Amino acid sequence: MEMNHSHDMSVTLSGVHLDNPVIPASGCFGFGYGMSEFYDINILGSISFKGTTREARYGNSLPRVAECEAGMINSVGLQNPGIDAVIAEELPKMREVFHKPIIANISGFSIDEYVECCAKIDREEQVAIIELNVSCPNVHGGGMSFGTCCDSVAEVVREVKKVITKPLYVKLTPNVTDIVAIARSAEEAGADGLCLINTLLGMRIDIRTRRPVIANKMGGFSGPAVFPVALRMVWQVSRACSVPVIGCGGVSSASDVIEMMMAGATAVEVGAANLRDPYACKEIIESLPAEMDRLRISALRDIIGVAH
């Protein structure tokens, strides 16, 4: 599709220029090069690569995916080759196919682990933003345990900020009573931006075997069904905080992107939609200009937070 030059889709996250606000979410796009077989991924605004920890992780036992009416439940458990292998092997492969700034998603099981991994990834030239995953629901004692309490969010943010030079975005879990309190703690501790939401906690039971479908019993619930919850939290947090927000959760169309931005998001991440259709992000980006025409929007950044 011909991009009309009257459509300005560019946005800026903490000084990082993106051609458009569409970013594949961590864990739903690997390290990009697998997807580059389907299309030229340089159409994307950026890529948030697969959640990385200090040690290699095999992930959780199978089965770890359950289908739902308007979404899915996954319990992959941060499967990744570990920070050193990511830097030595995955990033060079990614650089060959993707020539734009990238977002590094880092997770951990201790403050020390977050600090060590962030310090290492901060030295990688292509990494423009570090996304601190304090919200993975599928690993015991890691991720979400840091993201459900204001004090621990603040502590991990403070310690990581001491060792990095790149902007730090904190990816928040929706599995809390007060998302605004957590977001404010992250911002006050020095977060440069926020990303929300990670998955809700869900489960399915196989009525024939009378047992949970997922080996881990519960998992992260994502997909179109969670969009209204994600949108509501983006709206609340972008009103309460002054740092940029990346909206994530159930985004699967150009109109979803626009709605998220109107709620206050500067950019959006697309997760589960990529698993259902590898071309999802490409199709969303290609259909944005027509959607902008329909709504008489000439620059996407003009609509950020207009619904407030």
For 229, what's the count of Cα atoms within 13 Å in the CB-facing half-sphere?
20
Residue 120 tokens, joined: 């290492």
Amino acid at residue number 302: D
Among residues 28, 117, 136, 281, the one annotated as catalytic is 136
Q: What are phi and psi of 31, to 5 degrees?
A: -110, 25
Kindly state the tokens that stand for 153. Answer: 């969010």
**Which residue is associated with the tokens 């060590």?**
116
C-alpha span between 76 and 197 (Å, rounded): 17
Residue 187, token pair as written in the block: 């911002």
**Cβ atoms of residues 297 and 252 within 8 Å:** no
How long, in residues, is the chain? 308
Residue 120, CA distances (Å) to 4, 13, 14, 41 in order: 40, 22, 20, 25
State yes or no: is 241 an active-site residue: no
For residue 99, CA distances in Å to 4, 95, 102, 184 come to 23, 6, 9, 34
CB 83 within 8 A of CB 28: no
Cα separation, 64 vs 24, in Å, equals 21
Q: Which two tokens stand for residue 253?
A: 């169309």
Between CA 85 and CA 43 the distance in angstroms is 27
* Distance, CA of 176 to CA of 164 (rounded, Å): 28
Dist CA 225 CA 221 (whole Å): 9
- Two tokens, residue 152: 């621990």
Known catalytic residues? Answer: 136
